[in-house]
Structure 1
Amino acid sequence: MMIMIANVLDADNLQWLRDNMRKTRYVDGRRTTGREARTVKRNEQVDRSDPLLAEMQDLVVDRLLDNALFRMATRPHVVRPPLFSRYDAGMAYGSHVDDAIMGGMRTDVSVTVFLSEPEDYDGGELVIESAAGEQDVKLPAGSAVCYPTTSLHRVAPVVSGERLAAVTWVRSLVRDADARELLFDLETARHALFERLGKTPELDLLAKTQSNLLRRWAED
């Protein structure tokens, strides 16, 4: 399941992050990827030793975890500290799949948080590949897209301007992507029915079913 989440970061969050990204040190993005992906990756990332990085990472993780839609979609157990990337004109990241294990943690969901407005750069779409075809994603600043880490994906070449983004990965309490989608659909339906009808015996039955499925599938 791929889901887009608006307004993960507000205007003040975005301005603070952009200001810091103008002050930070950058390194070649190929330092943080595997041997095969390194051949198709052309971007810059904030140096892991930069003293501003930890606070930037904490802000993005906190805002994600504060977002109810993100929690419903990903069932997060652990969210990795994000990488902050910059793509100038001519930079891109070719087709690749993210590592299954990062820092000793299984990765289930990939997350991109857009930090530049779409009109500030040409190209630079996140392209997610699937058996049904390709989907281009280019969201307003502060929005995020979540998708299974099993997916092949790429960042199209930036033609002009500057693309800023934060990228992170989630180890979910629910390993299986289909199970996460079923739980998401059930919870979405429960919320909609409660808003329309209030608490009913049928709603209690849905709540019981959702809780028992989560209990069956969760890995804590």
Structure 2
Amino acid sequence: MLITLRNVLSGHEIKQYRQYFANLNWLDGAQSAGQQALSVKQNEQLDPKDKITQQLGDHILQALANSPQFVSAALPLKIFPPMFNRYQNGGYYGWHVDNAIRIIPDTPVRLRTDLSATLFLNDPEEYEGGELCVKDHYGEHRVKLSAGDLVLYSSTSLHQVTPVTKGQRVASFFWVESMIRDHELRDILYDLDQSIQSLGTGSGIENPDVVNLSALYHRLIRLNVDT
């Protein structure tokens, strides 16, 4: 799975984020790197304990809750609080796989990382390099989206951020534990839901076929939900 969600944040919201970023302290990203990633990670991150950082993360969570496409794609059970990173002056993050388990800060809650997400916070014309490269069974995908757009992909995927050779690349990143553990089944449910939504738009949500397909969709979720 690799799904792009457009306009998760508006242009006005992006402008407000940038005003906050200008007044916050960026820390060495190596502080949050695992042993495997430590040697291939060169970036900066905002302090996740900073009040403003947490407020911005909460704002992203609210935007995601209001995104039918995100809910359909992720079927989220838990979401790791969004973090923020910045790449510049050749900064990069080499090939790696995200940790399978994350502990939500200041809680005993553990989260299984089923899906990884990157929310781009500036436009691709503002920097050179900085592509998110994701490898899966279908090959390598290179992703560089507009400000406010988000990419969602399997956390089991090998991925990297290529060196930023000019300008700055700023993004938010986080992980999702889905109610549906199986990646293939989650993909099928997403495709089914998107088809139902499309049929509902064309034929009306009260159309018998739309109603029946919707009932089957929810039956499949009930049979497979992992909580």
The TM-score by the shorter chain falls in which range? over 0.9
1:1-220 maps to which residues of 2 (within 5 A)? Answer: 1-103=1-103, 104-198=110-204, 199-220=206-227
Name the SS for the 1:184 alignment partner.
Answer: helix
How far is 1:200 from its partner? 2.7
Structure 1 spans left out of the alignment, 5+ residues: none
TM-score (norm 1): 0.97
After the TM superposition, which segments of 4 or more aligned residues of structure 1 sit over 4 Å from their partners?
none
Per-residue CA shift, 1:67-116, capped at 9, x if unaligned? Answer: 11111000011111111001012100000011110002111110000001
Q: In structure 1, how many angstroms separate the alpha carbons of the residues matched to 2:209 and 2:11?
A: 41
Name the SS for the 2:51 alignment partner.
Answer: coil
Per-residue CA shift, 1:31-89, capped at 9, x if unaligned? Answer: 11210111100000001232311111111111112111111000011111111001012
Q: In structure 2, how many angstroms separate the alpha carbons of the residues matched to 1:34 and 1:209?
A: 42
Q: Report if the CA contact (8 A) 1:109-1:170 is conserved.
A: yes
Q: In structure 2, how many angstroms separate the alpha carbons of the residues matched to 1:127 and 1:96?
A: 11
Q: In structure 1, how many angstroms separate the alpha carbons of the residues matched to 2:42 and 2:87?
A: 8
* RMSD of equivalent CA atoms: 1.1
Name the SS for the 2:134 alignment partner.
Answer: strand
Identity %: 38
**How many equivalent residue pairs?**
220
Distance of aligned partners of 1:194 and 1:46 in 2 relative to their CA distance in 1, 3 Å threshold: same
Q: Report if the CA contact (8 A) 1:128-1:154 is conserved.
A: yes
Per-residue CA shift, 1:100-159, capped at 9, x if unaligned? Answer: 100021111100000011100000000001232211000000000000111010000001
Q: In structure 2, how many angstroms separate the alpha carbons of the residues matched to 1:182 and 1:131?
A: 16
How far is 1:192 from its partner? 1.3
TM-score (norm 2): 0.94
Q: In structure 2, how many angstroms separate the alpha carbons of the residues matched to 1:88 and 1:155?
A: 12
Distance of aligned partners of 1:209 and 1:18 in 2 relative to their CA distance in 1, 3 Å threshold: same
Q: Report if the CA contact (8 A) 1:25-1:50 is conserved.
A: no
Q: In structure 2, how many angstroms separate the alpha carbons of the residues matched to 1:185 and 1:116?
A: 29
